[in-house]
Amino acid sequence: MAALIAENFRFLSLFFKSKDVMIFNGLVALGTVGSEELFSVVAFNCPCSPARNYIYGLAAIGVPALALFLIGVIWNNHTWNLVAECHKRGIKNFSAAATFLLFGSIMGRAAVAPVTWSVISLLRGEAYICALSEFVKPSSLDKFPAEYGAEVLARFPCKDVPANLTKFRDEVTRRLRYESQLFGWLLIGIVAVLVFLTKCLKHCCSPLSYRQEAYWAQYRSNEDKLFRRTAEVHSRILAAKNVKHFFGFVALDKEEKELVQEFPVEGVQPSPQWNAITGVYIYRENKGFPLYSRLHKWAKGVEGNGPSPEGHEMLFLAS
């Protein structure tokens, strides 16, 4: 138990440090596997009662998957960029293809954890067996006693059955586990094919070369890191300035004093500037030169959200 908990804490620390999309998705899947194992150990407990088994089994697979999906949507930066875009500018400037790419990016990233949860649950088979054991037709079991029905079949996952039904319980469990694992492997295959086709479509439809696409990814990562680091320092210095204005002094440590001296902050950025660099960004070129982000676009003084006679928009969403 302690090892599982430690594994999940290590996953979380890596999760928030990850910047590469593939590593990010891999860590999400790994964390979900660990969480599913922990859930099976401490939480899963089939009621072994007709009607309740089916609801409980489906809930054990579906409810955590839904929760993980919603968490994935919430943690995706594209979600809040889309919200900001709709609030400030609307999506009238985006074509149907761009809108589809945006929603596909959000849904695809958010689906990693719930799909992993569903696959692991199906491969383990416990929830599936719990949900469907009562629906096994007694006539499909050779020499199954006629006096027993769904009530006894519903108790098979708990092994709470008469001794003369042990072999039937084993057969039902084996049959349902086979079905559950088959569905699990099919789901893995379907997801793998979809990921492959999506990657191929992305690279085939991309207006950028592979090297420029890699450069764009590096630029976005570096811009985000530098922006966050600078914003943290700027907000700290501004806070120190305001606290000093209120109290007449401010208690700073040595590092903070050096920051205040090295980076004097005279004011704050007005809301229009924040609005200009916030929201969904789709790759654009202006007079043949690429604009890699909203910040880049603002720094170059390019205004407007849609294509213009002098600008060329390329519908390729940042991943």
Q: Judge if 223 and 191 occupy the same domain.
A: no
Single out the residue in 163, 189, 205 at which a domain terminates: 205
Given a contact cutoff of 8 angstroms between Cβ atoms, the answer to whether 44 and 37 are in contact is no
Mean pLDDT of 278-307: 80
Q: Put the strands of the sheet holding 311-317 in their side by side order.
A: 289-291, 282-286, 311-317
Total domains in the fold of the chain? 2
pLDDT of residue 304: 58
In a domain, 275, yes or no: yes
Contact at 8 Å (CB) between 102 and 94? yes
Q: How many CB atoms lie within 10 A of CB 36?
A: 22
175 pLDDT band, cuts 50/70/90, is very high
Same domain for 194 and 221, yes or no, is no
pTM: 0.71
Q: What is the pLDDT of residue 223?
A: 95
Whether the CA torsion 222, 72, 22, 318 is positive or negative: it is negative
First to last CA, the chain: 37
What is the pLDDT confidence band of residue 92, given thresholds at 50, 70 and 90? Answer: low
> To which H or E segment does residue 317 belong?
strand 311-317
Which pLDDT value is given to residue 101?
76
Q: Are 158 and 227 within one domain? A: no
Residues 66 and 141 in one domain: yes
Q: Based on the domain organization, do 55 and 148 belong to the same domain?
A: yes
Based on the domain organization, do 282 and 188 belong to the same domain?
A: no
Residue 195 structural domain: 35-205
Residues 143 and 228 occupy one common structural domain: no
Same domain, 41 and 133: yes
Where among 163, 180, 205 does a domain terminate?
Answer: 205
156 vs 4, residue with greater confidence? 156
For residue 159, being part of any structural domain is answered with yes
Q: Are 286 and 311 in contact (CB under 8 A)?
A: yes
Q: Note the pLDDT of residue 193.
A: 96
Express each pLDDT in 13-42 by its tens digit: 434 444 455 555 666 666 666 665 665 555
- Measured CA to CA, the distance from residue 180 to residue 175 in angstroms comes to 9
Give the closest residue to 165 by CA, choosing from 178, 177, 176, 151. Answer: 151
Torsion of CA 108, 114, 115, 120, to 10 degrees: 160
